């Protein structure tokens, strides 16, 4: 098996060479101008091989699996834990959109990891990591994250198994200055929206552009002039100097130059060589820029359709798409939330306190509410989940009754769909069905239950009847198979459906 020197994989990290391509036409059918194939065997053609580095010694023509993990609510659903569990089965974990407005938390024993840009697959040492084409990346935050990881593990993965797409956009201090002026949407203030706006306006700087920008002072001057004018329009009194921007870009190049790669080609070749790829979503379905509660949304497409595009591969690679949902709902920031409860008392306060509902990225208290099946079905309509992971079911322990939103009333009329306009969603009154609650258990008791389910092979039958009833009802109402249930923050505190995709043995954490 051929291995690349830049990562622990059969990819080509410098200039990957696609192997035999699926051929809808015979080679003879193609005109010489458009025929990229030599008449001799490609791998035996020394003249062609001399043009490329890392020529592989294997070939695969069958598309092999890519698995997508997506948030099915308003974000903060517990995607990091699911990805951490799947990563040992994958050789690549790829973030495909968003930036450090994401916050994925992984708990292993006494260690809690809070990740914002590094893919959650970092916990598996044999998993390569990609910050993909569709991302906007804050290099300074990434530097801080990598430093914390090195302090914890002694590993410096950048350029070895962590790679930054040359097509990804750079978040600069300018973008955060501009974002701080937001008073309506309730953004994270991390510069995500302004960075995506620059990309759409085709004036942003990608990682591949940094060297070219640094070599032309006129580009620097024009960029600074534009930035300062935009800051003035939002009342920000700081001015950026050309020398400041040049210094920032040079630092990025010096710090991450070895990690900036054509990651789309790398991931594509890895798939062709029989490897498995985990595509890691950020935020949640109802924050999607096109399909969410606009304008109270994030700045990127968060669904399945963008997973492969933002990673630089085609959608035919996807074989599984898992939606992650809490057993209740939370939302950070402004925007409509039909099943919202009070944080001051009752079940809403219980969810917030027991579930430690504070944003991983912002630290802001999360708004809480009952599980909303209408919103969940909307997310499923957009991304087509092959399985549902229900997280934080343990948090509902101790409540006398548990409600599930099964419909809305809008201006006195019953509806069973999620309205398009945020103002309509704001007026929706949730319609509930009610189920008996179940007793609260200590974290250790939930972990024991989960480990017993794996040891005895009983799956959901290890749960008390009242708990299993909630799982069964979520599956019936949503129409999506529930493949795993989270019953605590620890990676061991999950109960998988017997024979399902999460019914696997995990390696012990190495950090």
Q: With left for phi above 0 and alpha for psi between -120 and 50, is residue 447 left, alpha or beta?
A: alpha
307 with 67: CB under 8 angstroms?
no
**Separation CA 420–CA 425 (nearest Å):** 8
**Separation CA 336–CA 362 (nearest Å):** 19
The strand ranges marked E within 48-176 are 66-71, 92-95, 104-108, 111-115, 128-131, 136-137, 162-165, 169-170
Residue 410: Cβ within 10 Å count: 15
**Separation CA 99–CA 139 (nearest Å):** 10
Name the helix (H) or strand (E) containing 318. Answer: strand 318-326
Q: Is 104 annotated as catalytic? A: yes
Q: Is 309 annotated as catalytic? A: no
Helix axes 242-256, 139-153, angle to 10 degrees: 30
**Separation CA 502–CA 232 (nearest Å):** 51
From the candidates 54, 84, 104, 133, which is the catalytic residue?
104
From the candidates 76, 179, 268, 372, which is the catalytic residue?
76
288 with 303: CB under 8 angstroms?
yes
Q: Which two tokens stand for residue 497?
A: 């459906």
Beta bridge partners of 92: 128, 277
Contacts of 277 (CB under 8 A, 6+ apart): 65, 66, 67, 90, 91, 92, 93, 94, 267, 270, 271, 311, 313, 317
198 with 166: CB under 8 angstroms?
no
Dihedral Cα 375, 379, 384, 390, nearest 10 deg: -70
Q: Single out the residue of 315, 312, 471 nearest to residue 383, CA to CA.
A: 315
DSSP label of 491: T
**Active site members:** 76, 104
């Amino acid at each position: 098996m051929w291995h690349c020197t830049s990562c622990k994989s059969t990819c080509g990290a410098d200039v990957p060479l696609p192997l035999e391509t699926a051929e809808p036409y015979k080679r003879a059918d193609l005109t010489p101008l458009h025929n990229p194939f030599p008449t001799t065997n490609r791998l035996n053609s020394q003249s062609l091989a001399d043009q490329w580095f890392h020529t592989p010694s294997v070939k695969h023509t069958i598309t092999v699996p890519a698995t997508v993990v997506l948030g099915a609510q308003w974000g903060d659903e517990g995607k990091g834990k699911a990805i951490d569990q799947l990563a040992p089965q994958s050789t690549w974990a790829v973030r495909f959109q968003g930036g450090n407005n994401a916050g994925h938390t992984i708990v292993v024993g006494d260690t809690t990891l809070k990740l914002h840009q590094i893919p959650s697959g970092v916990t598996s040492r044999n998993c390569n990591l990609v910050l993909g084409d569709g991302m906007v990346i804050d290099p300074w935050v990434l530097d801080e994250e990598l430093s914390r990881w090195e302090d914890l593990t002694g590993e410096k993965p950048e350029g070895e198994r962590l790679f930054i797409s040359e097509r990804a956009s750079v978040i600069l201090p300018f973008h955060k200055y501009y974002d701080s002026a937001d008073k309506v949407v309730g953004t994270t203030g991390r510069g995500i929206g302004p960075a995506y706006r620059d990309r759409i306006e085709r004036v942003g700087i990608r990682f591949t552009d940094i060297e070219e920008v640094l070599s032309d002072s006129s580009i620097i001057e024009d960029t600074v002039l534009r930035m300062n004018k935009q800051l003035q329009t939002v009342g920000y009194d700081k001015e950026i100097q050309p020398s400041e921007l040049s210094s920032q870009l040079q630092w990025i190049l010096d710090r991450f130059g070895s990690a900036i790669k054509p990651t789309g080609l790398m991931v594509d070749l890895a798939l062709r060589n029989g490897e498995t790829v985990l595509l890691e979503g950020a935020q949640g379905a109802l924050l999607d820029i096109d399909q969410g509660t606009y304008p109270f949304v994030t700045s990127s497409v968060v669904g399945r359709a963008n997973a492969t595009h933002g990673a630089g591969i085609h959608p035919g690679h996807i074989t599984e798409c898992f939606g992650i949902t809490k057993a209740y709902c939370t939302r950070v920031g402004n925007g409509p939330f039909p099943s919202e409860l009070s944080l001051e008392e009752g079940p809403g306060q219980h969810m917030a306190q027991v579930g430690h509902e504070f944003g991983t990225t912002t630290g802001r208290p999360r708004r809480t509410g009952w599980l909303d099946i209408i919103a969940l079905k909307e997310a499923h309509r957009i991304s087509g989940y092959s399985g549902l992971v229900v997280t934080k079911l343990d948090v509902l322990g101790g409540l006398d009754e548990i409600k599930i939103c099964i419909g809305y009333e809008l201006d006195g009329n019953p509806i069973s769909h999620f309205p398009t306009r945020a103002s309509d969603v704001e007026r929706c009154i949730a319609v509930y069905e009610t189920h008996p609650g179940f007793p609260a258990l200590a974290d250790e008791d939930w972990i024991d239950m989960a480990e017993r389910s794996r040891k005895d092979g009983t799956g959901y039958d290890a749960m008390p009847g009242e708990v299993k009833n909630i799982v069964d009802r979520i599956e019936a109402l949503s129409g999506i198979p529930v493949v795993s249930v989270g019953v605590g923050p620890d990676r061991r505190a999950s109960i998988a459906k017997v024979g399902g995709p999460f019914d696997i043995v995990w390696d012990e954490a190495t950090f």
